[in-house]
Amino acid sequence: MAAPFPSLLIRADEFVPEGAFARSQAEFLSPDPDLVADLGQLLEEKNAGVVAHFYMDPELQGVLTACPWPHIRISDSLLMADSAIAMATAGIQNIIVLGVDFMSENVRAILDAAGHRDVTVYRVAEGPIGCSLAEAATGDAYAAYIDEAAQTENALHVVYINTSLITKAQAHARVPTITCTSSNVVKTILQAATQIDDVEIFYGPDTYMGQNLEELFRSLAELDEEAVRAVHASHTPDTIRALLPRLHHFQQGVCIVHHMFGADVTRRVREDYPEAMVTAHLEVPGEMFALGMEASREGRGVVGSTSNILNFIGERVDAASAENGDGGEAEATRLSFVLGTEAGMITSIVRKVQGQLQAQRAAGGPVVEVEIIFPVASEAIAQTGDDELAVVPGVLAGEGCTVAGGCATCPFMKMNSLDATLDLLKRLGAGGRQSAEGDAELRSYHPKEYAELIDGKSAAELGGESILHMRHFQREGALSDELVGDVKTRCQGRPT
């Protein structure tokens, strides 16, 4: 058997990391109190809030989660914009987005739409903070995919939020487009099928997620009516079967991080961790997704978004406490989870789980401990910095652990550092108000503006429409009449 995957054991009052990678993650869970105090003081002084993604650098997340300033939120991309609106409504003047560029663009678009144009949004890098999926939707191949959709009757483009605002705008100009996230994509597609007769869904750009959605709907069609209605009340196995031939996905978009959870990793999880529960993000390759689906059917796993993963782990921890009665002398019950997504999730998992374990202990409940297993690709190599031996198999600790080094951390997300955040905050004007001069100096930290016109609207506004369609669906549980009407109108206008 190969060396075990790195893991982190979470107890009510301690963490036990196994392996260099896990040790480096655990180190950041107890941040330097001076750093925490500096961050809190600067945020307050500069009237600034922080919305950060779950995949942030663990060092940064460790400090953020320890900071008592109330305007700090770590979440999935969907909730980042909601948090920004809540902060703006509470009077926050500057919002720092810790994520990649499509996230800050999303936050900017939603703040604008909500009338908070006076709130300034900052990224913490001067240059672009990319994303391999967003990049995949910028080339000729995606343009050709959108062309195909534009020539198809009843086409609805369901675009993953991991794309730039200009991608969304250019697509929406050609095909009615709604943005989705991994937490709402299934319901978005099912809802579209109930409101738009013979809808043809063009999902993109994440190829693995497209394949996984197809597989998920295929499995759903095999379930009984009650199980299907539990997912969407207006659907039956027959309606799902009828939808399958009208689901299309783009073939050339991959998240370089989730790509690491391939056949080799999956085989090792199957063979070496048969008792562990499996969590798999919708972006993982098919093998890992199939394992997650299998585990989910057996009640010991979940496939979905980062929030779904976090909630699943939380529910299992509560269930273990309820099942095991009161405390006493019994041995600890260990729950093991394979983390099938970006490793930065660990900070949010630890904070949630440790809070639950402490509450259980205070209530005299059973002793539960939680093991999080990081399935690192065994083909991983790490750079040693040694001329004689430049690379070695496996991964090194901390920053050596990049995509090039083969483990599940996103190099783009890690462009957001604590130092860069503190530097930016120091450069903001007193009270968070910027002089015109100061604002000009920090221009490169703003999200891209996309002022060019497409069909008489700015690209930012047009791209923002697809996001607003998603938010309407989130709020109302139905697609907007405007979007549904747009599909029908464009269909009627299409030459036959």
**Residue numbers of the site for ligand SF4 (CB under 6 A)?**
55, 100, 131-133, 162, 255-257, 342, 410, 412-413
Minimum distance from residue 132 beta carbon to ligand SF4 (Å): 4
Look up residue 170 and give its two tokens. Answer: 């250019």
Between 10 and 131, name the residue whose CB sits nearer to ligand SF4. 131
Closer residue to ligand SF4 in complex, CB, 143/254 = 254
Phi-psi region of 374 (alpha: psi -120 to 50; beta: other; left: phi over 0): beta
First to last CA, the chain: 61
Minimum CB distance to ligand SF4 smaller for 11 or for 281: 281
User: CB 416 → ligand SF4: shortest distance, Å?
Assistant: 11
For the CB of residue 412, give the shortest distance to ligand SF4 in the complex, in Å: 5
Smallest separation (angstroms) from ligand SF4 to the CB of 101: 9
Instruction: Give the residue among 339, 202, 214, 213 at the shortest CA–CA distance from 269.
Output: 339
Rounded distance between C-alpha atoms, residue 80 and residue 483, angstroms? 24
CB of 62 to ligand SF4, least distance (A): 19
Which CB, 7 or 132, lies closer to ligand SF4? 132
Q: How far is the CB of 410 from ligand SF4 (least distance, A)?
A: 3
Instruction: Quote the CA–CA distance of 272 and 255 in Å, as a whole number.
Output: 26
Least Å distance between CB 468 and ligand SF4? 22
Q: Which among 445, 428, 447 has a CA at the least distance from the CA of 125?
A: 445
Give the nearer residue to ligand SF4 in terms of CB position, either 31 or 205: 205
Rounded to a whole number of angstroms, the minimum distance from the CB of residue 283 to ligand SF4 is 6
Provide the token pair at 330. 């019994």
Q: Among 368, 363, 180, which residue's Cα sits nearest to residue 282?
A: 180
| C-alpha–C-alpha distance, residues 240 and 260, integer Å | 31
Residue (67 or 403) nearer to ligand SF4, CB: 403
Beta carbon nearer to ligand SF4, 202 or 208: 208
Q: How far is the CB of 53 from ligand SF4 (least distance, A)?
A: 8
Between 133 and 175, CB nearer to ligand SF4: 133
Torsion, CA 355, CA 360, CA 364, CA 368, rounded to 10: -110
Q: Closest CB to ligand SF4 among 131 and 424?
A: 131
Determine contact, residues 48/96, Cβ cutoff 8 Å: yes
Smallest gap, in angstroms, from Cβ of residue 380 to ligand SF4? 16
Least separation in angstroms between CB 450 and ligand SF4: 19
Sheet holding 247-249, edge to edge: 177-180, 155-160, 200-204, 247-249
Other Cβ atoms less than 10 A from the Cβ of 171: the count is 26
Q: Are 203 and 488 in contact (CB under 8 A)?
A: no
Strand-pair partners of 393: 381
Closest approach of Cβ 372 to ligand SF4, in Å? Answer: 18
- The token pair that represents 293 in the structure block: 């689906």
Distance CA 110, CA 206 (A): 23
Nearer to ligand SF4, 25 or 321 (CB): 25
| C-beta closer to ligand SF4: residue 257 or 357 | 257
| Full 3-state SS string of 41-70 | HHHHHCCEEEEEECCCCHHHHHHHHHCCCC
Indicate the residue among 223 and 256 with the shorter CB distance to ligand SF4. 256
Cα separation values, 171 from 107, 276, 359, 415, 484, Å: 20, 42, 49, 28, 16
Report the sign of the C-alpha dihedral through residues 442, 170, 208, 382, in that order: negative
CA triplet 65, 311, 8: central angle to 5 degrees? Answer: 60
